[in-house]
Amino acid sequence: MKVLVAVKRVVDSGIKVRVKPEGIDLQGVKMTINPFCEIAVEEAVRLKEKKLIAEIVAVTIGPKQGAESLRHALALGADKAIHVTTEARIDQAVQPLDVANILAKLVERDNYNLVLMGKQSIDDDFNQTGQMLAGLLDWPQATFASNIQITDGVAQVIREIDGGLQTVKFKLPGVITCDLRLNQPRFASVPNIMKAKSKPLETIPLDKLGKLHNSIQITKTEAPAVRKGGAIVENVDVLLQKLRTEAKLF
Amino acid sequence: MQIIRNRFMVNHIPRFGFKYMSDSTFLNEEHLQIQKAALDFAKEKMLPYSAEWDKKHHFPKDVLRELAAMGFSTIYVKQESGGVGLDRLTASVIFEALSYGDVTTTAYLTIQNMCAYMVDQFGNEEQKKTWIPRFGTFDAFASYCLTEPNSGSDSKNMKTFAKKDGNDYVINGSKCFISGGSVSDVYLVMCKTSEKDVSCILVEKGTPGLSFGKLEDKMGWNASPTAMVLFDNVRVPQSNLLGKEGNGFKMAMSALDGGRINIASCSLGGASFAFDLTKDYLHDRKQFGQPLAAFQGLQFKFADMATNLVTSRLIVRQAAQMIDNSHPDKTLYSAMAKRYATDSCFNLANEALQLHGGYGYLREYQVERIVRDLRVHQILEGTNEIMKVIISRNLLK
């Protein structure tokens, strides 16, 4: 069984983001693998350790530095990597439908049995790519996975949904998007980081696989409003009054 | 804005991390990848427990074994010998990142690395096969014994003596301030084998005649056991000699430059943590209606802290690279790096404590632990005064 794991390189969640008129300032900013993508890679590695998968291929779309996320995936245990290169801004111009189309092309080319990816990326929070990919391939999908079991070509996934936990079952091939509680990724050890250097990394220019249509245009990027201070009220009457006039609750 | 007293937790992980640890002046992509792995490990597996280890004087052998599994205990041992086979610059980056989480355990880790390196460089095949795999997993803990009660800086004047007797050596004497003393499985003992010759002999724990003093009660480095090691007619086979008789001093010298970079790197990590804590505190603490960060006197102190941290890092990495390139000035630069970085980083931590005001004096706020831990870096691996002797001698000869 072959697994394709899609990873995205995003702004590190710990840094203080600077907003410019044209978008987030990426100049010199610390970037890292999207946490949900890392969870997807870890899950793939665990499935391989359980001997349920034979090969893990990691793929990313982006500029030359995007290879960092691929090397991280290789260091965690992926066998091969594919780098779809583009100079377009991955947090703006590389959009879910285009990504899904490109991934679909790779799936058709290489015949994967399973695609694993993060449920969403922490820069745009679209939460669309996995679902769109499943639609394009006409494959079953399980999103927000917090548990994955694979037996005899059948996937059983527990999904975290608003109402609680939902279990779905489907015959592979399929698409699964990974949620926070699925696993905790391992640390990349130095020997594995070094082994990753010699694992195959294929580079494909984006226009060989698809096109960026920019069908979604970002019209404005702004920082959230500065939080106004609260106030300590003297008694319940004042509280009720503020809830009515200021918070406009009723 | 946070209300300091209630919201500052023990083992607070700073919000505003100083990203320049990954300043890539000397670092390539592989260094950055390894640094990330080390820093992630440090923040998750060491930082939350550092205060507890210090308070309880707990030596975290399990965490050291996990560090070994990451490849951090035989960093610059050759791959053919079973090590990771990386360079001193990578080692510096790793130790700096790990000591962000805990200075003391990282410092012990550097000793393990150094002992493994010595066995790799000077040991015979038998010794390498016996010890390096065990060092690489922390199945065996190693200690390095050079200092004696009456010979610190004046190490050549050591009195511990190994006399030949049949096929054995019989060792008598004592070593002090030994990290890992009484806990380590094997001791690399620098001792005299003749009036002039210094040699290195491996002594395993449990050998009759080998005993230990009580665990020293120190200002800092509390997570690491330190004790005297006593030799009373300790008999070991002559096959325990590492390298050749009389080469002990040359071996020690070759390990010294790297050891100095290692300890300087540990200072960098601890100082980075103190720096990050201070940055948070300056934003959060308000006096006279303003955050401390608004006061120029404090801004100037902070600016100096930042500048000294960055310059310390640069000279440490430059010296590390010079060792890797066998540059003729590597000893000079290693001494400068050790002296400068350990002094700057201690002063930074001390200043950080001051900037925390009264809270800086409380263990709960962690910065005082960094001060206590970094203090000894100005003393061991060659006192900073000896560093000045080396620097001036090198330049004025």
What pLDDT digit, counting tens, does each position of B65-96 carry? Answer: 999 999 999 999 999 999 999 999 999 999 99
Domain presence at residue A219: yes
Put simply, whether A71 touches B (Cβ < 8 Å) is: yes
Region A16-24 average pLDDT: 84
Residue B4 has pLDDT above 50, yes or no: no
Do B83 and B207 reside in the same domain of the chain? no
pLDDT interval class at B19 (50, 70, 90): low
- Quote the pTM value: 0.87
Which comes out higher in pLDDT, residue A107 or A12? Answer: A107
**Chain B residue with the nearest C-alpha to that of A73:** B33
Do B128 and B54 reside in the same domain of the chain? yes
Do B260 and B368 reside in the same domain of the chain? yes
Domain presence at residue B5: no
Q: From the candidates A11, A29, A189, A228, which should be mutated to test the interface with B, based on the most B CB atoms within 10 A?
A: A189
Where in the sequence numbering do the catalytic residues of B fall? 381
Give the model confidence (pLDDT) of B249-295 as tens digits: 889 888 889 999 999 999 999 999 999 999 999 999 999 999 999 99
**Chain A residue with the nearest C-alpha to that of B35:** A190
pLDDT at B164: 96
| Cβ <8 Å between B17 and A189 | no
Longest distance between any two alpha carbons in chain A, whole Å: 70
C-alpha closest to that of A201 among A56, A67, A14: A67
Residue B6 has pLDDT above 90, yes or no: no
Region B3-28 average pLDDT: 59
Do B202 and B313 reside in the same domain of the chain? no
Single-letter amino acid code for the residue at A113: N
Domain presence at residue B10: no
Residue A21 has pLDDT above 90, yes or no: no
What is the Cα–Cα distance from B376 to B365, expressed in whole angstroms?
Answer: 20
Region A25-49 average pLDDT: 93
Is the Cβ–Cβ distance between B114 and B257 less than 8 Å?
no
Put simply, whether A15 touches B (Cβ < 8 Å) is: yes
Domain presence at residue A238: no
Tokens representing A83 are 């780098």
Do B123 and B173 reside in the same domain of the chain? no
Indicate the number of domains in chain B: 3
Domain presence at residue A234: no
Do B259 and B239 reside in the same domain of the chain? no
Residue B112 has pLDDT above 70, yes or no: yes
Domain presence at residue B72: yes
Single-letter amino acid code for the residue at B198: V
Do B233 and B273 reside in the same domain of the chain? no
> Burial of A185 by CB count in 10 Å (0-12 exposed, 13-18 middle, 19+ buried)?
buried
Give the model confidence (pLDDT) of B124-147 as tens digits: 999 999 999 999 999 999 999 999
Q: Which helix (H) or strand (E) holds A20?
A: strand A19-20
Range(s) of the domain holding residue B311 = 249-396
DSSP one-letter string for B51-106:
HHHHHHT---HHHHHHHHHTT-SSTTS-GGGTS----HHHHHHHHHHHHHH-HHHH
Residue B2 has pLDDT above 80, yes or no: no
Is the Cβ–Cβ distance between B163 and B170 less than 8 Å?
yes
A193 chain-B contacts, CB cut-off 8 A: 30, 33-34, 37
pLDDT at B1: 37
C-alpha closest to that of B382 among B260, B268, B269: B260
User: Computed over its alpha carbons, how large is the radius of gyration of chain A?
Assistant: 21
Residue ending a domain, among B198, B215, B246, is B246
The residue with tokens 């000279």 is B315
Domain presence at residue A240: no
The residue with tokens 């050079």 is B146
B84 chain-A contacts, CB cut-off 8 A: 190-191, 194
Do B364 and B265 reside in the same domain of the chain? yes
Residue ending a domain, among B246, B277, B292, is B246
The answer to whether the peptide bond before residue A185 is cis (omega within 30 degrees of 0) is no
3-state secondary structure (DSSP) of residue A152: coil
> Burial of B206 by CB count in 10 Å (0-12 exposed, 13-18 middle, 19+ buried)?
exposed
Residue B5 has pLDDT above 50, yes or no: no
What is the Cα–Cα distance from B294 to A141, expressed in whole angstroms?
Answer: 53
CA angle A145, A149, A152 (to 5 degrees): 135
Q: Is the ipTM of this complex over 0.95?
A: no
- Write out the residues of chain B at the interface with chain A, using a CB-CB cutoff of 8 A: 15-17, 19, 22, 29-30, 32-34, 36-37, 40-41, 69-72, 75, 84, 86, 94
Domain presence at residue A156: yes
CA angle A9, A114, A151 (to 5 degrees): 130
pLDDT interval class at B18 (50, 70, 90): low
| Cβ <8 Å between A190 and B86 | yes
Region A71-92 average pLDDT: 94
pLDDT at B21: 65
Region B172-199 average pLDDT: 96
Mean model confidence pLDDT for chain B: 93
Region B39-50 average pLDDT: 94
Q: How many C-beta atoms surround the C-beta of residue A217 within 10 A?
A: 7
The CATH number given to whatever domain includes residue A54 is 3.40.50.620
pLDDT at A137: 97
Strand partners, A5: A58, A116
pLDDT interval class at B7 (50, 70, 90): very low
Domain presence at residue A105: yes
pLDDT interval class at A227 (50, 70, 90): confident
Domain presence at residue A244: no
A17-26, A123-132, A221-230, A238-247: which has the highest mean pLDDT? A123-132
Domain presence at residue A249: no
pLDDT at B9: 45
Lowest-confidence range among A25-29, A206-210, B21-25, B211-215?
B21-25
B75 chain-A contacts, CB cut-off 8 A: 190
Range(s) of the domain holding residue A15 = 2-225
Residue ending a domain, among B184, B214, B246, is B246
pLDDT at B16: 57
Mean model confidence pLDDT for chain A: 93
pLDDT at B26: 82
B34 chain-A contacts, CB cut-off 8 A: 190, 193
The CATH number given to whatever domain includes residue B298 is 1.20.140.10
Indicate the number of domains in chain A: 1
Residue A200 has pLDDT above 90, yes or no: yes
